[in-house]
Amino acid sequence: MVENGLMMQYFEWNLPNDGQLWNNLKDDAKHLKELGVTAVWLPPAYKGTSQDDVGYGIYDLYDLGEFNQKGTVRTKYGTKEEYIQAIKALHEQGLSVYADVVLNHKAGADAKERFMAYEVNPDNRQEKLTEPYEIEGWTRFNFEGRGDTYSKFKWNWRHFSGTDFNAENDKEAIYMIQGLEKGWSDDETVDNEYGNYDYLMFADIDYENEEVVQEVLNWADWYIEETGVDG
């Protein structure tokens, strides 16, 4: 057990899109140990909306820089193999490794779908401004580049509680998707900023959906086993 440990956040927003972070980290492992660092916090390692995505526009949790998706194989930080090698190098120096994990939303969908939704007041997201009407949203994730490798699960509108764009008329708004058991999280479980801050951005994942819960648990087991991260 480490007393008075020191964790380093090994990334920041404006890193260059050169695919070298994992390689640089591997080479830096011994130096970090010498500095007294005991743990390293790494940025989101999975495929985002594009190669220069910092890691918060989550497209495919299972693509750690292995498949040709969103116009790139590597992520902003490198390839899956380089990521795993960096983690091994840190472990060899006795450092713990923590992965930044974003499970609130998904972005960069592969196809649009039609479904019923309400517009809500962006300043009070519990206030519905309209009756439900049909919109066209980017909510279908097929992962053509990965196919069924690691998981056969494909996301659709039923797996989300909200979105922020109606492709039918290019209107940007906050839409609460209508459906069985859908809506924002209970007020007492989330920040009450804007009335209810359950919705943040993109397509908001619906954790009232049992299929979603099971898929995310399956992914977490896979991720830890595949990468060896400590948390």
- 177 and 86 within one domain: no
DSSP H or E stretch at residue 209: none
Report yes or no on 135 lying in a domain.
yes
- 137 and 83 within one domain: no
Q: Cα(10)–Cα(90) distance, rounded to whole angstroms?
A: 12
Q: What range does the domain containing 174 cover?
A: 108-216
CATH of the domain at 183: 2.40.30.140
pLDDT of the residue at 2: 59
Backbone region of residue 181 per phi and psi (left: phi > 0; alpha: psi in -120 to 50; beta: other values): left
pLDDT tens digit string along 52-108?
999 999 999 999 999 999 999 999 999 999 999 999 999 999 999 999 999 999 999
- 87 and 16 within one domain: yes
Report yes or no on 66 lying in a domain.
yes
Residue 212 in this model has a pLDDT that exceeds 80: yes
Of 149, 199, 201, 158, residue with least CA distance to 180: 158
Q: Which two tokens stand for residue 15?
A: 């890193």
3-state secondary structure of 27: helix
The tally of domains found in the chain comes to 2
End-to-end CA distance of the chain: 15
Sole residue written with tokens 């116009």: 71
Report yes or no on 28 lying in a domain.
yes
- Which residues, including other chains, have CB under 8 Å from residue 111's CB and lie 6 or more apart? 138, 140, 142
- 172 and 112 within one domain: yes
CATH of the domain at 18: 3.30.750.90
- 174 and 94 within one domain: no
Backbone region of residue 98 per phi and psi (left: phi > 0; alpha: psi in -120 to 50; beta: other values): beta
Amino acid at 194: Y
Proportion of the chain above pLDDT 90, given as a percent: 95
Cα 95–97–102 angle (5° rounding)?
165
Q: How many residues does the chain have?
A: 231
Least confident interval from 116-130, 183-197, 202-216? 183-197
Report yes or no on 228 lying in a domain.
no
3-state SS of the chain: helix, strand, coil percent to 5?
A: 25, 30, 50
Sole residue written with tokens 């649009």: 112
Dihedral angle over CA of 143, 230, 22, 46, nearest 10: 10
Q: Cα(61)–Cα(45) distance, rounded to whole angstroms?
A: 8
**Average pLDDT score over the chain:** 97
Report yes or no on 226 lying in a domain.
no
- 144 and 74 within one domain: no
- 189 and 126 within one domain: yes
Strand partners, 8: 40
